[in-house]
Amino acid sequence: MYEVEFYKDRKERCFTIEFLNELQTKVRAKVAKWVDKLEKEGPNLPRPYTDIVRGKIRELRVSFSSNEYRFLYFFFGKRIIITHGFLKKTDRIPEGEIERAERIMQDFLERNKGSWGNYERYNKVSRLFKRRIKGSRI
């Protein structure tokens, strides 16, 4: 089993949580369902639920009503680091979103350099999301 974490920058800002807070409760619940599935199946979660975007960056695809939500992520050992989420409005993922995920991944790797020292800090936000998904706001 894998552990899903939400990336936090050096100032402790979490782009995934900020995006999730903008979504309706029903959408957040569906996202939580797919994040759990990703956590259980890791790289074995097939298309159309996930896909490789570029290099090590992958996408988790969540559809709700007529909206397509995307969460970009990468693997770090048995950890899945979700960089951020966005509402997909075009057929292709905007280049800026891919570049943002690549910058986030680079920052994460530089700050972690294979160490598990920051594991709990990243994990705390992910666990909070799972516990409070049925509440009003994260």
Phi, psi of 23 (to 5 degrees): -95, 155
Q: pLDDT tens across 1-49, in order?
A: 899 999 999 999 999 999 999 999 999 999 999 999 999 999 999 999 9
The pTM score is 0.83
Domain limits of the chain? 3-130
Where on the phi/psi map is residue 42: left (φ > 0), alpha (ψ -120 to 50), or beta? left
CATH topology for the 3-130 domain: YaeB-like fold (3.30.2310)
Phi, psi of 9 (to 5 degrees): -80, -175
Q: Say how far apart CA 22 and CA 51 lie, in whole Å.
A: 24
